[in-house]
Amino acid sequence: MLSGSPAMWALLVAVAVIGIDLGTIAQAGAWDPWETHYGEVARQILVRSDPMDLWWQPGNGGPDAESEKSFASKPVLSFWLIALAMKIFGVGTQADPAEMVRSPWPEVALRLPSMLAGWTAALALGTTAWRLASPRAGVLAGTIVSTMPQYAIVTRQALTDMIFVAPVVAAACAWALAWLQPDRDLGTRGSSWRRIPFDRAYLVFLVVLIAGAVVPLAVLHQHSFDPLTWRYFGKIARRAEGLRDIQKHMALYWVLLAVVFVRSLRWRSRSQPLMGILYVCAGLSLMAKGFIGPGIIGVIVLVHLAASGRWELLRRCGLPTGIVLFVLACFPWHHAMSLYRGERWVSELIIDNNLRRFATGEQKQAVGGFAYYFETLGIAALPWSAVVPMAGIFGLRSFTRSGEEHGVQLQRFATLWLAVALFAISYSTTKYYHYILPCLPPAALVTALWLDRAADERGRTTTVWATVVLGLAIVAVVIRDAIYSPSWLAHLTTYLYTGMWTEGAPDVTVLMATCAPFVVALVAWPFVPRRWCLMGFVLAGMLTRGWIIGRYLPGASESWSQRSAMRAYFDARGPNDRLVSWWFYYRGETFFAKGDLWVMKDPDRTSISELVEASRGQGMTLWFLTTVQHANRLGTHLPSDVRGYIEPVYENFHYALLRVDVP
């Protein structure tokens, strides 16, 4: 291994990664955009006791308080997981109005699902490389992907991206484990017709099936019968009809589930449960973010079949049963919601938020050409991005080597996987930095397999010198650009790249220190035993990850999160005070206040005057939460006799909190 047993290194890396994540999880407040938005949607599942119909309402007063209600931007999986975590930790429904800013548990509940998904995906990737290449390659694959900055940040944030990428990784690894090694018989128990599978691969499949299909179906079906559901929604004729239809239609899925389970009892080879895992994970990836997940999985499989010429696998991969498993994992909720909400909801979720975003774009700053993500990969995978290009070239060259060589088949598969993921995200018209996330696991796998092979080679060839020179140049350029734009790291999980969002990030010159071991190891690559260089690479990756998670994110959160502003509000508010979200709408204000606020997205002097007049003579203070750009304009929008009572209470690079005592 590097120096010691692979198991020891795997344990050390896992303990370090998990320790860093858990130890710092609450240091950074929930971020705008997305973390707070998704957190409030999940909280509403608990508040409304409704796991089916996703809901969002900006506030409980003001002209824009009810501008949105039904939430159809994303499928339901991420919100189920966050709501479950909130339920476990007792977050979101307490009587304390300040509960979202008083303790670390809201951040823990928000982020734990993404963290578990990220850790699991890294484990799956490492296990696959361990089995199909070498233990050292497995440790490197898991280490590389978990220490890539963007992967680390998304693992630590409440987004839909890791929840969709983890099933994609699991599905790709299941395919590789099924067909890139000799198949074997499943272990069984019993005899004759009572003989059933009893094997680790089959037990894993059952766990995935129960978690991915049985539990969600049971939740949906129970919800349609729940007396509480009927008490709230059964009075509306259209909703009552939808609930009755759900009761009847969900029975079909139970029948399909029983058929598939009985069919699985007849499985006799390891590849069959592995393929079952692939199909369920494809459905789960759709439930997390839409068509992009199963699309990537399907294209990976087809491209691999075409490149390898193994089209006979189409007859062996259990496609008929697999289609049913895919349906069981992703159809019930979509089916129930189409019955409950109708065609308008279907159009908004599928057409507007999936197909149109992929084909025509969403925002002006979120477009770019094919090379858009190559620059992003530099910071997203630092310091490993220094060697990803050479690893990619090695991956392409693997197609000229004998397929019998150890690990070559996996190298080819990883290269195809990376190419498919890059093409998919580059082809999409809408381009955000975080869309590159599906490329990081295959890039890590390609890099790990190359390093594993190169570590045992000797000599100072032209390729070796090219690796050193190119790697040093990439590290230098990426760190230079990061220092010039410190918010670049924060933008890896956002979409607001302009205006005030370019300010407020911590200084990043420390990247020169965290990447120093990588640079030293790269310079030493031609001269010393390369297994020692691997230790320098891993050390640099861990240092970079530790600094980003433990220092950069908490520092950036002071401007990217509204938590500090909301703490100032709750620390000083009176019993009759009113929080006003004025001339801005970034979601965090709703999440931290649990929807108890007066909302105005655009300036309206008439509505503000009416609010002030209604507050006169009651000893009431109005707390205005807005952007720093609009804070100094508040006085011109208030009645003249109130303007002298404006008092700034809190301000960061993005948000401002102002107190107005109404006479």
Buried b (16+ CB within 10 A) or exposed e, 296-317: bbebbbebbbeebeeeebeeeb
Alpha carbon 162 to its chain centroid, in Å, reads: 3
The residue-averaged pLDDT of 567-587 equals 94
Please tell me the predicted confidence (pLDDT) of residue 469: 96
Is omega for the bond preceding 51 within 30 degrees of 0, making it cis? no
For residue 592, pLDDT beyond 70: yes
User: Hey, what's the torsion of the CAs at 438, 440, 444, 447, to 10 degrees?
Assistant: 110
Please tell me the predicted confidence (pLDDT) of residue 344: 84
For residue 203, pLDDT beyond 70: yes
The residue-averaged pLDDT of 520-543 equals 94
The residue-averaged pLDDT of 347-376 equals 68
CA proximity to 432, closest of 481, 490, 500, 506: 490
Half-sphere exposure of 50 (CA within 13 A, CB side): 21
How far apart CA 632 and CA 649 sit, in angstroms, is 13
For residue 32, pLDDT beyond 80: yes
Please tell me the predicted confidence (pLDDT) of residue 370: 62
For residue 354, pLDDT beyond 90: no
Please tell me the predicted confidence (pLDDT) of residue 367: 58
Please tell me the predicted confidence (pLDDT) of residue 355: 66
Contact 394, 407 (CB under 8 A): no
Residue 403: which residues within 8 A CB-CB, separation 6 or more? Answer: 409, 412
Query: What's the longest Cα–Cα distance across the chain?
Result: 90
pLDDT band per the 50, 70, 90 thresholds, residue 357: low
For residue 365, pLDDT beyond 60: no
How far apart CA 31 and CA 147 sit, in angstroms, is 21
How far apart CA 633 and CA 631 sit, in angstroms, is 5
In which residue are the tokens 């397999």 written?
449
Contact 121, 162 (CB under 8 A): yes
The residue-averaged pLDDT of 550-574 equals 96
The residue-averaged pLDDT of 96-103 equals 93
pLDDT band per the 50, 70, 90 thresholds, residue 295: very high
Reported as a single tens digit per residue, the pLDDT across 369-405 is 667 788 889 999 999 999 999 999 999 998 988 766 7
Contact 631, 658 (CB under 8 A): yes
Please tell me the predicted confidence (pLDDT) of residue 548: 97
In which residue are the tokens 């996330």 written?
437
For residue 428, pLDDT beyond 70: yes
Reported as a single tens digit per residue, the pLDDT across 136-188 is 999 999 999 999 999 999 999 999 999 999 999 999 999 999 999 999 999 99
Task: Please report, for residues 140, 514, 532, the alpha-carbon distance to residue 538 in angstroms, rounded to integers and kept in the order given.
Answer: 8, 11, 10
For residue 1, pLDDT beyond 50: no
> Considering the chain, what percentage of its residues have pLDDT values greater than 90?
80
Reported as a single tens digit per residue, the pLDDT across 598-626 is 999 999 999 999 999 999 988 899 999 99
Please tell me the predicted confidence (pLDDT) of residue 94: 92
- DSSP conformation letters of 48-59: TT-SSS-B----
Per the prediction, the chain carries an average pLDDT of 92
How far apart CA 285 and CA 106 sit, in angstroms, is 25
Reported as a single tens digit per residue, the pLDDT across 471-518 is 999 999 999 999 999 999 999 999 888 889 999 999 999 999 999 999
- DSSP conformation letters of 491-527: GGG-S--SGGGGS-PPP-TTHHHHTHHHHHHHHHTTT
Q: Is 368 exposed, middle or buried (0-12, 13-18, 19+ CB in 10 A)?
A: middle
